[in-house]
Each structure stands twice: as C-alpha cells, then as structure tokens.
Structure 1
Amino acid sequence: MSQLHRSPTSTPTRSEEKRRNLLVTASELFLQQGYDGLSMDAIVSAAGGSKATIYRYFGSKADLLVAVVEYLCEDFILEFKQLDTSRVELTEGLQLILQNLVAVVTSPRHVDFYRLVVNGSAQVPQVGQTWYEHGPRVWHQSIFSLLEQQRQRGLIAADTYLSELPPILFDALFSHLTTRTVMLGQTCTAQAFEPMINELITLVTQRLKTP
C-alpha cells in the first residue's frame, strides 16, 4: 500500500507532510522536464530543504522517479476508484469504466505522464513495473470484478472464461488513445471515443455466453 494514503481520520505527521510536499513538487517538475532534464538541485530549489532530505526520504533520483510514478498513478485514478459497478448491468458498467479511462488518458497531464513513464522506464526499469501495478492492472481488476459480478448474478454463463477479456479490452482502447494523444499529438475530446467504446462493448457482450 502506498505510504501516501492514510486513514481519513488520521493526521499526517510532520515528516509525512514534508515527504508528500517533496513528492508533489518533484512530480510537477518531472512532468515538465522529464527524467534526464531534471536535477536534484532543481527539486531542492523548488521545494526547499536540502538534497540530504530528499535522499533520506527517497534514496536516489531513480527511486524518487519510481515514487513519483506511483503517486501520479494514484492521483489519476482517484475518481475512478469511487466507481461502484456492483449493481449495474454489464453494458452500463463497461461504459462507466471505459469512459473514465478515456477522460484520464486524453488529459494533457496524462500525455506528459505517459511520456515520462516511457522515457523513464528505459533508464529505471522499476518505473514500468510500478506504472503497470498502479495503473493498467487496477483497470484490469475493475473490469474483471464487473464481469465476475455479472457471472455471480447469473447474467454470464458459469463456465465462461473471463481472465483474458480485461487486458484485451483495456489494451485495445488504451493503445488507440495513446497513439492519438501521445504519438500523433492530437487534442481529443472524450466524446470522440464514444463510437469506439460502444463497438468494444458490443464485441465483448457478443463474446460472452449467456445462461
């Protein structure tokens, strides 16, 4: 569990607050300047304190980048994690999940973030794993939970194989989104992807066996 998130009733200690402030400042600088373009001195200059303080909390620039990626992943999915699909029909549940994914990935901030992850993981391999665990895997699990809930309600046949559907569905949309926003540099609205979402949902519902 991330060290950044505590119970709503607990009060962060001074040390935790200082660590978080450093992390927030470093996150914005990494997004703006990338991994290679950012020095620890620049982070200290923006956040205050000393390099010794940053090293004490994060260990190294590479470790700081890993912490930044985890923090930003959690920040992007704050609203998504509030979704409750336990009582909705399959089509509506998939729409909620995929529409939220589109909203996240088409934001200019996420474009900068994805570039940071791609470039950073080439130099700090743990960056890619951290991004996957706190990003795509969370979406995979949410889709799988929705499908499993539908099966438990008797709306999907009990013997239907579900494990590969979440990554296939996520990857199809995510790949298209990042191609448009990151690789081609297009500014896209969430509404522009509604036809693709509807097509993907149709393919999934046709694939699933009904009781």
Structure 2
Amino acid sequence: MPQLHRSPTSTPTRSEDRRRNLLITASELFLQQGYDGLSMDAIVAAAGGSKATIYRYFGSKQALLVAVVEYLCEDFIIDLKQLDTSGVELARGLEMILEQLVAVVTSPRHVSFYRLVVNGSAHVPQVGQTWYEHGPKFWHQLIATLLQEQRQRGAIATDASTSEVPAILFDALFSHLTTRTVMLGQTCTAKAFQPMIQELIALVMRRLQVA
C-alpha cells in the first residue's frame, strides 16, 4: 500500500497520523469501488474509528474524494519529482519525462484512478480541478522548465515559441495512453510507446529549430 511521503525531519502528531491513515485507506477503497459504490460506513469499517472522526478530518464524502485525488496525484509523481534533466540534451530530457508519463499512465493503478477522476468529477466538480492542478499542470511545468533551461543554454532558437509545447506533448501522449488503457482496456508495455515518443520529440525538435 502506498505511503504518504514527508520530510525526514518532520514529526507527525497523532492527529496527523490518524488523518494520514484514513486517507490511505480511503484511497484504496475509492480505487477499488469507485465513488458511487463506496460508503462512509465502509471506510470506517476498514480504517477503524468512527464516522464522526472522518467528518472531523474531511467534512464530507465529497471533500474526502478531493483529498484522495490530491494524494494519489502526488503519489503518482513521486519518482517524477526526483527526475534530473538539468545535465542532459533537450531530446533526452523530453524522452525522460515522457517515458515517466508512460510508466505512470499504463499502470493498472492509474487506470483505476483515472476512472475515479472522471466519475468523481460528475459528482464533485472540484475533483477535476484538483486532478489538473496536481497532475497535468505539474507535467506541463516540468516540460516548460526543461525548455527554459535549454533556451538559456542556446539549444533552442531565440525566436522559437515554446509556450504551447508542454501542453501539446503531454496531451498528445496522455490522450493516446488513456484511450489504449482506459477506454480500450489494453495492457500496454512502455516499449510499445517508444515510436510515438520519438516522433513527438522529433516534431518538437524541428518546431523549435534546435541549434
């Protein structure tokens, strides 16, 4: 079961530990049963304690789902946050980021998560915004930072616009991945998406007139 990551210097209080454990338990149950199929009673039965405790920490089932989505987004990008592209060429940096995206989205856990987000958004609009802020927006920013660093190194033409590149790259690959894994229910390997990754990178390299 995934664990929430915190700074090694922090010391969680008993209340923080209790909230954390409730969040982890609720996350697993939401992934397994979805929003509609899961009751607060079921969460209490699995996590222990009382329904009043859950309401004290999260306020409502809707607010709990939002917290779960934020937690799971952060859990999916733990490895991505450790990715260091500062010393590599542009093509390799893009490849590293997109390969990580493939690894995340093709995992069975993410398939369940994406279905939860889509269904949950229909009941709780804030779910979609939370997913975007802690998911796609983070990937966009990571690509944007790489492009900015590469421009400073002279690897990108000074007059080349990069503002739309992060969204184009992420959205193209993410859409294809979710179509294959979520909509079609296919089990995919990372290797299967290498040709698409390379084609997307080649298009970007030509677009940016890389020196």
Shared fold (TM-score, shorter chain, > 0.5):
yes
Residue 87 of structure 1 and its aligned partner are, at CA, apart by 1.2
The CA distance in 1 between the partners of 2:108 and 2:133, in whole Å, is 22
- Structure 1 residue 92: Cα displacement: 0.5
**Which consecutive unaligned segments of at least 5 residues does structure 2 have?**
none
Q: Which residue of 2 aligns with 1:9?
A: 9
Find the aligned partners of 1:191 and 1:203 in 2 and give their Cα distance. Answer: 20
Q: Distance in 2 between matches of 1:168 and 1:156?
A: 17
- Answering whether residue 71 of structure 2 is matched by residue 71 of structure 1, we say yes
2:149 matched to 1:143? no
What are the ranges of 5 or more consecutive residues in structure 1 without an aligned counterpart? none
* 1:163 Cα deviation from its structure 2 partner: 1.0
Report how far residue 73 of structure 1 moved.
0.3
Distance 1:28 1:5 in 2: 16
Root-mean-square deviation (CA), in Å?
Answer: 1.0
Secondary structure at 2:49 match in 1? coil
Residues in 1 aligned to 2:174 and 2:59: alpha-carbon distance in whole angstroms:
32
Q: Does 1:169 align with 2:169?
A: yes
Alignment-mate amino acid for residue 54 of structure 1: I
- Please, what TM-score do these two structures have when normalized by structure 1? 0.96
Deviation at 1:159, TM superposition (A): 2.5
For 2:146 and 2:191, how far apart are their aligned partners in 1? 23
Tell me if 1:126 matches 2:126: yes
- Per-residue CA deviation, residues 126-173 of structure 1 (Å, 9 max, x unaligned), is 000000000000000000111100000111122221111000110000
1:19 equivalenced with 2:19 (yes/no) = yes
Question: 1:65, CA displacement in angstroms?
Answer: 0.1
Deviation of the 1:8 alpha carbon: 2.0
Distance in 1 between residues matched to 2:117 and 2:199, nearest whole Å: 29
The residue identity in structure 1 corresponding to 2:35 is: Y
Counterpart of 2:193 in structure 1 is: 193
Tell me the CA shift for residue 6 of structure 1. Answer: 4.1
Aligned identity (percent) is 80
1:117 partnered with 2:117: yes
Tell me the distance in 2 between the aligned counterparts of 1:125 and 1:83.
31
Instruction: Give the AA of the match of 2:122.
Output: A
Q: Matches of 1:47 and 1:138 in 2, distance apart?
A: 31
Q: Which moved more, 1:152-161 or 1:179-188?
A: 152-161
d(CA) in 1 for partners of 2:66, 2:210:
43
Instruction: Spell out, residue by residue over 1:35-92, the C-alpha distance to the aligned partner (whole angstroms, 9 max, x if none).
Output: 0100000000000000110000000000000000000000000001100111110010
Shift of 1:7: 2.8
Q: Distance in 1 between matches of 2:185 and 2:210?
A: 41
Between the two proteins, the alignment pairs up a number of residues equal to 208
The residue that corresponds to 1:203 in the other structure is 203
In structure 2, the residue matched to 1:87 is 87
